[in-house]
Amino acid sequence: QVDPSVKVNVLINDGDAVKANSTLFTATGSARSILTAERTALTFVQTLSGTATTTAHYVKELSGTTTQLLD
């Protein structure tokens, strides 16, 4: 955590399907603190979103078969 005074409000739930350009969370606090953490947070969200999208694609492709996708 960069600055404990920065407050983050998460607007989605884990596992939700999210459309492009949706707001995932908001952050309030000092601009300096938010901008310090912005790149790390963006990279983290992009990586997890990409993984979730790929996994959802594979799950869809495997539906109707006896194959299970395991982590």
* pLDDT at 58 > cutoff 80: yes
CA distance 38 to 43: 9
Question: Is residue 19 within 8 Å of 29, Cβ to Cβ?
Answer: no
- Express each pLDDT in 3-56 by its tens digit: 999 999 999 999 899 999 999 999 999 999 999 999 999 999 999 999 999 999
Question: Is residue 69 within 8 Å of 62, Cβ to Cβ?
Answer: yes
pLDDT of the residue at 55 = 93
Q: What is the pTM of this model?
A: 0.74
